[in-house]
Amino acid sequence: MSFESETESFAGALMFEREMSENTCAAYARDLRDFTSYMKRRGKTCAAEVTREEIDGYLAAEREKGRSSTTRARRLVAVKEFFRHLKERRIIRHDPTELVDAPKKATVLPRVLSEQEVAAMLDAIKGPDPRDLRDRALLEVMYGCGLRVAETCALKVEDVIADGELLRVMGKGSKERVVPLGRAAGRALTSYMESARGLFTRGDLGESHIFITRLARPFTRQGVFKIVRERAAAVGIAADRISPHVLRHCFASHMLQHGADIRAIQEMLGHADIGTTQIYTHVDSSRFGELHKKYHPRA
């Protein structure tokens, strides 16, 4: 078999057997394209020709290119899953990745804005203009519920449940969770749904997505990113400090600062592993040094 037919077999297994999301499948495909391109440049035509030493060489080349440990670890996961699939299908006899260790990840604290900065950005979007009503609801929901950008784009009218107090969210791996819809997010969403959404859908009763563009289509990730940057810039927040995912980080960090249980935050974020959520304890504790310097008489 060739790399092309092998990766096609793997992609099919991800989508139809493991039922992974389209975004996850696309991420695996990108990483495997990078890996197989490297191997082809070294004269390899299929997985059976690849050795452990060549995989080590690939990881070393990635490091020399300046790839972060997180990126290298993610790409190795894709390669490992690829070879595991081929061995299970008896396409290859030996898995050269079995003894390859993942690069150690550096602990990178997520970027967060202060509560005051988030409030300034949200409160600056006001008035009856349909676009303002939509953008305020969009950002309030993302920040108030800790949603990923893809989850926000996928929200449908029927996902607002329990008389508007809860939001049903379809997360990674098609895992469903229910999160509280706070007062501010609930008010903004109600205003948008009652006064503006119909203008964006142009009366199309078959359109069920909540957030709609001026072209009467559901939002894309890029569209949400543009709105977040634009609204942040309006209150002086630099572009390199804000993104849709930063709002998700802010949700978790601000909840933790106000005493929320980390297990509850894990559930609301849809993290499968508590270790992923615990990064926010580092964000919170990083403030201790600042407070010590500011208030301790001998600091």
Active site residues: 148, 172, 245, 248, 271, 280
* CA–CA dist 142, 136 (Å, integer): 10
Q: Are 182 and 192 in contact (CB under 8 A)?
A: no
- HEC letters along the chain: CCHHHHHHHHHHHHHHHCCCCHHHHHHHHHHHHHHHHHHHHCCCCCHHHCCHHHHHHHHHHHHHCCCCHHHHHHHHHHHHHHHHHHHHCCCCCCCCCCCCCCCCCCCCCCCCCCHHHHHHHHHCCCCCCHHHHHHHHHHHHHHHHCCCHHHHHHCEHHHEECCCCEEEEECHHHCEEEEECCHHHHHHHHHHHHHCHHHHHCCCCCCCECCECCCCCECCHHHHHHHHHHHHHCCCCCHHHCCHHHHHHHHHHHHHHCCCCHHHHHHHHCCCCHHHHCHHHHHHHCHHHHHHHHHCCCC
DSSP-derived 3-state class of residue 156 = strand
